[in-house]
Amino acid sequence: MGILYVVGTPIGNLEDVTLRALRVLKEADVILCEDTRVTQKLLAKYEITGKQLAPYNEQDSGVTAGKIIGWLEEGKSVALVSDAGTPGISDPGTLLVQKVREALPEVKIESVPGPSALTTALSIAGIPAHEFVFLGFLPHKKGRETLFKEIATSERTMTFYESPHRILKALESLQKFAPNKKVIIARELTKIHEEIKSGTPAELLEFFKANEEKVRGEFVVLVNPLL
Ligand code: SAM
């Protein structure tokens, strides 16, 4: 039987990769990637060449879980990575792990931990991180309002991921439902333009409206709990 490795990769700075991750990627028979071109950049930096890369995304395209289970039965070592951070955290991975556990309980599934935007943001936000709720990407419609009401009244730090297209919308919702909360925006973590900005939703809206060039890149939003 093969082994399935679930490998954390950088969220921006390509130096943020563990020695073990590099060894596992070097030795894997197949590397399952969200986007092979993204993973190729990481492999090229560390001169890992000649690997079989296969797209995997838990949806309709890419290799199927059945095919991967076949590889594991043949004894292959398979490494799963996503474009950035930890697979399974708002990224493909969970279903594959579930299916492999069900179909091949004897196969070892090993984590090769690495960065995640969530823990990276929490580590430098300067708000309580001993207890927090992670909401992933917020729904665009159904359940959105309820979540913002929860964010407004939570006694735990609330965190979510947001895209540049929707960050202003999220801040507007926070202004509506949680106007007095301290909000932290962690942007472009580990990259050249890494920035932490904090304030009330209204202050942050004003800042981002005045600095449109900063409504770009990747964002983690953290909301201080009611203390
Ligand atoms: N699996 C990843 C992880 O472990 O963090 C998350 C993947 S999710 C598809 C992508 C989202 O994560 C982005 O939209 C953004 O909200 C957040 N993210 C990823 N990289 C980031 C970075 N360098 N700075 C801030 N947020 C980031």
Number of domains in the chain: 2
Domain residue limits at 46: 3-112
Q: Are residues 143 and 216 in the same domain?
A: yes
Q: Per the structure block, which two tokens stand in for 212?
A: 């449109």
For position 211, which CATH number holds? 3.30.950.10
Residues 33 and 121 in one domain: no
Residues 133-169 pLDDT 10s: 999 999 999 999 999 999 999 999 999 999 999 999 9
Ligand 1 centre to CA of 200 (Å) is: 23
Q: Pick the atom of ligand 1 nearest to 187's CA.
A: 25
Q: Name the residue of 220, 221, 222 whose CB sits within 8 Å of the most ligand 1 atoms, as the mutation to test its pocket.
A: 220
Q: Which residue out of 89, 94, 219, 222 has the highest number of ligand 1 atoms within 8 Å of its CB and is therefore the one to mutate? A: 219
Atom of ligand 1 nearest to the CA of 160: 16
Centroid of ligand 1 to alpha carbon of 28 (angstroms): 25
Domain holding 85: CATH number? 3.40.1010.10
- 126 with 98, same domain? no
- Compute, in angstroms, the gap from residue 43 CA to the centroid of ligand 1: 20
Name 221's bridge partners.
160, 185
The last residue of a domain, from among 94, 112, 130: 112
Q: What share of the chain is helix, strand, coil (3-state, %, to 5)?
A: 35, 25, 40
Taking alpha carbons only, the member of 95, 18, 113 closest to residue 57 is: 95
Alpha-carbon distances, residue 187 vs 68, 109, 164, 184, 219 (angstroms) = 35, 32, 10, 10, 5
- What confidence score (pLDDT) does residue 60 get? 74
Which of 57, 80, 112 is at the close of a domain? 112
pLDDT band, very low/low/confident/very high, at 120 (cuts 50, 70, 90)? very high
List the residue whose alpha carbon is closest to atom 19 of ligand 1: 117
Examine the domain organization and report whether 102 and 139 are in the same domain: no
Is the confidence at residue 227, as pLDDT, over 70?
Answer: no
Residue 38 and residue 58 in one domain: yes
pLDDT digits (tens, 9 = 90+) for 58-94: 987 889 999 999 999 999 999 999 999 999 999 999 9
What pTM was estimated for this model as a whole?
Answer: 0.96
